């Protein structure tokens, strides 16, 4: 049975390792400047039975933008090969605590697989608690995956542009404050500094405790309200390339928000397109 929360604890997962209806996926991903190599780290050590969910590979190779959501047929094919499919509860985690795993959580949900949760604290917390790890690459049996695209969780450039006029949806930017204000260069070349006009700055780092777990529902509600964000309104999350925007979506979900979508192109697209207005400061 899927837990009520989109988060599960390390103890919860440790008690269910090997359960026939649970699949585990390492969805680690890092910016090049982080100096970390997700695949190599996975090969060296991962939670027993976990497969590697390659965010860059499971993407739309036709797009010039980084790791955009792939067509449904490609996504379903990749999931089948990983043994992630219909009837599975998928637990996703990453090597930074909570960073890229929410992206995989969002991708699966967009493709209609709601039976997915994020491991709170991720692999760092798992290792700190001396829970079991392995370095063997699993060979899962292919599992049928039926894509049922849920576009209510996704926004594109035109939709975000239209929202500038209607203001129907609150846009939240998960990047750091200095990037939001245009005081710091973007990590990807060729992008203008700044933010989408009218958007709210809620850096994803404020959502996470020092130990790498997500803050409580009460603290998240307080935080969002302090940034003039009403979780009861329709919300669109954005960031640099659609990774940390998913952390924002996860936190909003935990805080009780139910109408949240993610702008997949995020600043990698908005900051590049000349027709997109930009604000700084």
Q: Is the dihedral of CA 93, 96, 97, 99 positive or negative?
A: negative
* Rounded-to-integer distance, Cα 139 and Cα 121, Å: 26
Taking CA 207 as the corner, what is the angle to CA 50 and CA 93, rounded to the nearest 5 degrees?
Answer: 0
DSSP 32: G
Beta bridge partners of 116: 90
- Give the torsion through C-alpha atoms of 19, 133, 92, 142, to 10 deg: -60
> Is 275 labeled as catalytic in the residue annotation?
no
Residue 229 in contact with residue 257, Cβ under 8 Å?
no
Tell me whether strands 260-263 and 235-238 are parallel, antiparallel or unpaired: parallel
DSSP 48: T
Q: If we measure between CA atoms, which residue out of 249, 251, 271, 275 comes closest to residue 260?
A: 249
Residues 6+ positions from 193 with CB-CB distance below 8 Å? 179, 182, 183, 184, 185, 186, 271, 278, 280
Which of 239, 255, 260, 262 is catalytic? The answer is 239
* CB-CB neighbours of 144 under 10 Å: 10
Q: Supply φ then ψ for residue 88, to 5 degrees.
A: -95, 140
Q: Which residues are catalytic?
A: 239
């Amino acid at each position: 049975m899927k837990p009520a929360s989109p988060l599960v604890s390390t103890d919860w997962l440790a008690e269910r390792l090997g359960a026939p209806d649970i699949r585990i996926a390492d969805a680690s991903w890092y910016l090049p400047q982080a100096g970390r190599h997700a695949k190599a780290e996975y090969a060296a050590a991962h939670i027993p039975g976990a497969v590697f969910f390659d965010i860059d590979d499971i993407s739309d190779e036709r797009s010039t933008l980084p790791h955009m959501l792939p067509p449904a047929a490609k996504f379903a094919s990749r999931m089948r090969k990983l043994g992630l499919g219909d009837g599975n509860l998928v637990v996703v985690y990453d090597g930074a605590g909570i960073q890229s795993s929410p992206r995989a959580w969002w991708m699966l949900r967009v493709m209609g697989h709601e039976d997915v949760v994020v491991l709170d604290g991720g692999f760092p917390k798992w290792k700190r608690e001396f829970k079991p790890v392995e370095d063997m690459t699993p060979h899962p049996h292919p599992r049928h995956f039926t894509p049922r695209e849920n576009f209510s969780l996704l926004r594109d450039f035109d939709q975000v542009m239209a929202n500038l006029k209607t203001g129907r949806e609150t846009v939240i930017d998960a990047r750091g404050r200095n990037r939001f204000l245009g005081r710091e260069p973007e990590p990807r070349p060729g992008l203008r500094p700044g933010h989408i006009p009218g958007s709210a700055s809620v850096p994803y780092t404020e959502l996470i405790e020092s130990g790498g777990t997500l803050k409580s529902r009460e603290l998240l509600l307080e935080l969002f309200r302090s940034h003039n964000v009403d979780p009861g309104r329709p919300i669109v999350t954005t960031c640099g390339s659609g990774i940390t925007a998913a952390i924002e979506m996860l936190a909003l979900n935990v805080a009780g928000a139910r109408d949240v979508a993610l702008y997949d192109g995020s600043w990698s697209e908005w900051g590049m397109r000349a027709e997109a207005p930009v604000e700084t400061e």
